[in-house]
Amino acid sequence: MMQPYAFAEGTAIVTGAASGIGEALAVQLAARGSHLVLLDRDAERLEGVAGRIRTAHPALRVGTHVVDLADDQATAAIGERLAAEHPETTLLVNNAGVALGGRFDQVTLEEFDWVMAINFSAVVRLTHALLPVLKANRGAHVVNVSSVFGIFAPAGQAAYSASKFAVRGFSESLRHELAEDGVGVTVVHPGGIRTRIAESARTGSGVSVEEYEEGRKQFAKLLRMPPEDAAAQIVTAIEKRRPRLLIGWSAKVPDVLVRLMPGTYWRLIARRAAPARPPAA
């Protein structure tokens, strides 16, 4: 059995750190004494987060890297750089993620690949680059953020669900492989967390304006939990080496439903999610 993860004096690499869960995690990891290396594509927001943490914790090292994880070459390059410059890394949090709305026949393959590149390929590339470092630091840990859509797959979310199911499978296999090296792996399935993912989400080229507006409103209704609450649960899961974390009722209820109705759960979910219709005349 692994010992609890030790935050103090460790170095944590966090992707998607300029807002949402990533920002909240960076703040809470710093409060526990972790040095930080923060990645995001939004340079201004990222530097704001890093600046606030440096002010609050002047003894900590807080580095930043601006990178677009949709670019495979850029992701591979930053992975190599991080491994070379931070051999002391003990925690990797693959948190960055994007969304794409639209049925499979309403999105282009380029749009689909954009989601897969950020949500899954970047997780694989960064983990692969940093794995020798993590294995060298026995007691290290990896966190991969999946989604409730890595538990069940709603209509209109083929790309996003595919990427998050992939993260889930990758994480489970990686956990089994790294156990003998003393490296823990936690896969996180957040439900409705109030992050900027709805703002940054793309819509498939074939989606009408009406469909887009309706989908945006429905999605926004689910985003209720503050990211700070989600981050606190993730930090606890890291410390306790939990293999899997479901955050919120909107993740826990679907998890049970899928287990009970693996082939037919969507009928129930779709019926409950459908907007109310006026009674027949």
The Cα–Cα gap between 207 and 185 comes to: 37
Whether the CB-CB separation of 79 and 128 falls below 8 Å is answered with yes
Find the catalytic residue in 5, 160, 212, 265: 160
For 95, residues 6+ apart whose C-beta sits below 8 A from its C-beta are: 14, 15, 16, 17, 21, 22, 25, 143, 145
Whether the CB-CB separation of 97 and 71 falls below 8 Å is answered with no
Cα end-to-end span (Å), the chain: 65
SS (H, E, C) 93-142: EECCCCCEEECHHHCCHHHHHHHHHHHHHHHHHHHHHHHHHHHHCCCCEE
The Cα–Cα gap between 238 and 90 comes to: 11
DSSP labels for 154-193?
-TTBHHHHHHHHHHHHHHHHHHHHHGGGT-EEEEEEE-SB
Look at the block and give the residue holding tokens 């109030």.
194
Q: Is 265 a catalytic residue?
A: no
Tokens at 40, concatenated: 């995001």
The Cα–Cα gap between 32 and 15 comes to: 18
Q: Is 279 helix (H, G, I), strand (E, B) or coil?
A: coil
Catalytic positions, written as ranges: 160
